[in-house]
Amino acid sequence: MSASQPTAEAHTALAAQWRPPPLIASPVLRWSLILGGLAWLVAALVFMEINWARAAEGWARGVRFMAAFLPPDFISKSDDIAEGLLESVTMTVVSTVLGLALSVPVAVGAARNLAPRPIYLACRSILVVSRTFQEVLVAILFVAMFGFGPLAGTLTLAFATVGFVGKLLAEDIEATDPAQLEAMRATGGSWLQALTWGILPQVKPRLLGLSLYRVDINFRESAVLGIVGAGGIGATLNTSLDRYEFDTAAAILLLIILIVMACEYASGVIRKAAL
Amino acid sequence: MPSLPSSGVEASIWRRRSVKGDLLAWGAWLVVVLATMLSFRTISDATIWDFVWDAPTQGADLLARAVPPRWEYAGVLWKPLWDTVNMASLGTLVAMALGVPVAVLAARNTTPSVTLVRPLALLVIVASRSINSLIWALLLVVIIGPGPLAGTIAIALRSVGFVGKLLYEAIEEIDRAQVEATEATGASPAQVLAWSIAPQVAPTIAGIGVFRWDINIREATVLGLVGAGGIGLQLEASVATLAWPQVSVILLLILATVIVSEWVSAQVRRAIT
C-alpha cells in the first residue's frame, strides 16, 4: 500500500472533517459581528421595558379578537365601512395617477444619461426626501397644511409614489441601450422625440409593472393614513378598535386583505395582456 | 422593383398596432381618465377647499415656527430612538425566524404537500403582507398593551410575509443539479435542505434580512403614534402640543437614522452579492 493511496477509513475521516465555507470569510470580522450582535441582543432585551402583567392579560383579549373573526360583523357598521373603503379606493386611484404623472419627469431628470448635472442633483434630492420619510410622517405635515380629509392623504401617497417610481424608473432609464437614443438623434429627432421613440419603448414594461405594483402599495397605505386624519378606511378601523368592536375590525381587515389579493390578481392579468 | 413588398401602398403605411390593439389601448386610457375624474370628484366633495388654498400660508407659517429647531430636546430623544432601532431589529430577527420556515413550506419544490400545506403558507404570507405594520400595532396595543413589545411584534408580523414571499421565490429558482446530487448520495429530505438548498439561498436570506431591516427602521419611527413605543410617541406629543421646533428636531433625527441604516444596508448587500 503506497502513501499516495489513502485507505477507505482515512477517506471517510477526511470527509467527516470537511465543513462548508462560512458566509463571512474573514474570521475576525465574523466573530466580531457575532459577539457584537449577541451583546446588542442582550442589551436590547434588558433595556426594553415590557409590562409582562399587562401582556399576560392580553391573552384573553387576543382570544376574543380571534373569536371575532367567526363571524366578522359586516352589517352593523356597513355604512361607515363602505364610506371608508370608497374613500380609500378613490385616494388610491387619484394618488397613483397624479404620482405617476409627476414621477416620469422627475425620473427623466434623475437619469444620469439624460439630464445635465444641476437638474440631476435636484431631482435626486427630491427622490431622497420622498423616500426617507414614512408616509404617515408626511401625512401629519400635509394634514396640518391642507386640513383633515382625503386630499391630504392623496397628496401624501402621490408624493410617496414619486419617490418610489421615480427612483426605480431612473435606474431603468440609466440602464437603457444608448444605441437607440443615438439613432433617434441621428435622424434629426428633437429631444422630446428621442425620448418617446428611443427611451420610452425600452422602459415601458418596467413602467407598467411599477405602476401596477404602486396601485397595490397605495391602497395598503391608504388604509393607515386615516389614523392621522388623512382619510380612508384607517379612520373607521381605528374607531372600531377604540370601541373594542373587534367583529367590525375583523370585517375591515378581511376586506383589506381581499382587495389587496384582487389587486395582485388583476395586475397579473393586466401585465400578461399588455406585454 | 424586387425589393419592395408586393402588397403595395397599404404595407408602406407603418402602424404601431393593429386596429383592435389601437381600440384596446384607447379604451384603457378612457377607463383610467374616467376613473381618475370620478375619484377626484369624490375626494373634492370631502375637502374644504378654503383650507387648501390657504396651504402655502400654512406651510410657510409651519416652517417659520419649526426653525430654529430646539436642539436641547434631542437629549430626551436618545432612549426613544434606541427603542425604535431595537423594535426594528428585534422585529426583523423574529420575522426571519418565522419567515424562513414559512418560505420552505410555501416553495413548490420544498413544501411537504402542494395541495395542503402550500396554500396555507401562501395565505399566511398574503395576510401578513396586506396589513400594514401600523395596523398590526393598532391591534397589538389593544391586545397586549402599549409599549415597545407591541411594536416589535407588529414589525415581526408584517415582515414575515415579506421575507416569506421573497425567499420562497428564491427557493423555487435554485439549481436542481445540486439537489439531485445530494439526493443521489442517499440524503434524507432534511439533509437535502441543509446541504444543497440552504447554501444556495444563504446570501439571499442575508440580503432579504438587511433589506427588510432598513424598511423596518422607517416603519418603526411611526409606530409610536398608536402607542407602540419608539420615537413616534414623542412626535405625537410634540404635534399635539404644536411644539414645531421639537417636531423639526425629531424629523432631522429620523432623517439621520434612516440615512445611516440605508448606508449600512447597501454596504452589506454589496458585500454579499
A108 touches chain B (CB under 8 A): no
Residue from B17, B20, B31, B39 whose CB has the most chain A CBs within 10 Å, to mutate? B39
Q: What phi, psi does A161 have (nearest 5°)?
A: -60, -40
Selecting from B43, B129, B135 the residue whose C-beta is nearest the C-beta of A224 gives B135
Averaged pLDDT, A20-46:
85
Q: Are B246 and B233 in contact (CB under 8 A)?
A: no
A147 touches chain B (CB under 8 A): yes
Q: Are B212 and B36 in contact (CB under 8 A)?
A: no
Q: Which three cell numbers stand for residue A275?
A: 406585454
Residue in chain B lying closest to A44 (CA): B86
Higher pLDDT pick, A6 / A92: A92
pLDDT (tens digit per residue) in A41-86: 988 888 777 777 887 888 888 888 788 777 888 888 888 888 889 9
Residues 160-219 of A with CB under 8 A from B: none
Q: How far is A214 from chain B (nearest CA, A)?
A: 13
A268 pLDDT higher than 60: yes
Q: Which three cell numbers stand for residue A122?
A: 435636484
pLDDT (tens digit per residue) in A172-195: 999 888 898 889 889 988 888 888
**How far apart (Å, rounded) are the C-alpha atoms in residues A21 and A44?**
30
Selecting from B39, B127, B199 the residue whose C-beta is nearest the C-beta of A257 gives B127
Cis omega (within 30 of 0) on the bond before B68? yes
Residue in chain A lying closest to B44 (CA): A151
Are residues B202 and A23, on separate chains, in Cβ contact within 8 Å? yes
Are residues B139 and A65, on separate chains, in Cβ contact within 8 Å? yes
The pLDDT-based confidence of A1 (bands split at 50, 70, 90) is very low
A51 touches chain B (CB under 8 A): yes
Three-state SS annotation for chain A: CCCCCCCHHHHHHHHHHCCCCCCCCCHHHHHHHHHHHHHHHHHHHHHCCCCHHHHHHHHHHHHHHHHCCCCCCCCCCHHHHHHHHHHHHHHHHHHHHHHHHHHHHHHHHCCCCCCCHHHHHHHHHHHHHHHHCCHHHHHHHHHHHHCCCHHHHHHHHHHHHHHHHHHHHHHHHHCCCHHHHHHHHHCCCCHHHHHHHHHHHHHHHHHHHHHHHHHHHHHHHHHHHHHHCCCCHHHHHHHHHHCCCHHHHHHHHHHHHHHHHHHHHHHHHHHHHHC
**How far apart (Å, rounded) are the C-alpha atoms in residues A100 and A112?**
20
Residue from A93, A102, A154 whose CB has the most chain B CBs within 10 Å, to mutate? A93
Q: How far is A129 from chain B (nearest CA, A)?
A: 9
Are residues A40 and B89, on separate chains, in Cβ contact within 8 Å? yes
Residue in chain A lying closest to B230 (CA): A48
Are residues A62 and B59, on separate chains, in Cβ contact within 8 Å? no
Instruction: Write down the mean pLDDT value for chain A.
Output: 86
Are residues B199 and A20, on separate chains, in Cβ contact within 8 Å? yes
Q: Are B119 and A245 in contact (CB under 8 A)?
A: no
- Is the complex ipTM more than 0.85? no
A221 touches chain B (CB under 8 A): yes
What per-residue confidence (pLDDT) applies to B1? Answer: 44
Are residues B52 and A146, on separate chains, in Cβ contact within 8 Å? yes
Q: Are A168 and A134 in contact (CB under 8 A)?
A: no
Q: Which three cell numbers stand for residue A185?
A: 438623434
What is the domain partition of chain A in residue ranges? 78-274
**How far apart (Å, rounded) are the C-alpha atoms in residues A77 and A72?**
11
Q: Which three cell numbers stand for residue A5?
A: 493511496
- Tens of pLDDT along chain B (273 residues)? 445 454 555 556 777 778 888 888 899 899 999 999 999 998 888 888 888 888 888 888 888 888 888 888 888 889 999 999 999 999 999 999 999 999 999 998 888 888 889 999 999 998 898 888 888 898 888 888 888 999 999 999 999 999 999 999 999 989 889 999 999 999 888 888 888 898 889 888 988 999 899 999 999 999 988 888 889 889 988 988 888 899 999 999 998 998 899 888 888 888 876
Higher pLDDT pick, B272 / A226: A226
Q: Give A233's contacts in chain B (Cβ within 8 Å).
A: none
Give the closest residue to A128 by CA, choosing from A167, A172, A170, A174.
A167
pTM assigned to the model: 0.83
A58 touches chain B (CB under 8 A): yes
Q: Which amino acid is at A35?
A: L
**How far apart (Å, rounded) are the C-alpha atoms in residues B265 and B212?**
9
Selecting from B89, B144, B258 the residue whose C-beta is nearest the C-beta of A58 gives B144
Are residues A49 and B147, on separate chains, in Cβ contact within 8 Å? yes
Q: Could you give the C-alpha distances from A237 to A147, A248, B156, in angstroms and in order? A: 21, 8, 21
Are residues A137 and B222, on separate chains, in Cβ contact within 8 Å? yes
Are residues A50 and B42, on separate chains, in Cβ contact within 8 Å? no
Q: How far is B5 from chain A (nearest CA, A)?
A: 24
**How far apart (Å, rounded) are the C-alpha atoms in residues A269 and A176?**
26
What per-residue confidence (pLDDT) applies to B240? Answer: 86
Burial class of residue A171, CB neighbours in 10 A (0-12, 13-18, 19+)? middle
Are residues A260 and B126, on separate chains, in Cβ contact within 8 Å? yes
Residue in chain B lying closest to A154 (CA): B43
Give the closest residue to A261 by CA, choosing from B131, B215, B167.
B131
Q: Give A220's contacts in chain B (Cβ within 8 Å).
A: 130-132
Q: Give B86's contacts in chain A (Cβ within 8 Å).
A: 44, 47-48
**How far apart (Å, rounded) are the C-alpha atoms in residues A63 and B113?**
29
Are residues B135 and A223, on separate chains, in Cβ contact within 8 Å? yes
Are residues A140 and B235, on separate chains, in Cβ contact within 8 Å? yes
What per-residue confidence (pLDDT) applies to A151? Answer: 92
Residue from A143, A212, A224 whose CB has the most chain B CBs within 10 Å, to mutate? A224
Give the closest residue to A193 by CA, choosing from A203, A184, A204.
A184
Domain A78-274 CATH superfamily: MetI-like (1.10.3720.10)
Chain A / chain B CB contacts < 8 angstroms: 161
Are residues A221 and B221, on separate chains, in Cβ contact within 8 Å? no
**How far apart (Å, rounded) are the C-alpha atoms in residues B99 and B102?**
5
**How far apart (Å, rounded) are the C-alpha atoms in residues B47 and B38?**
15
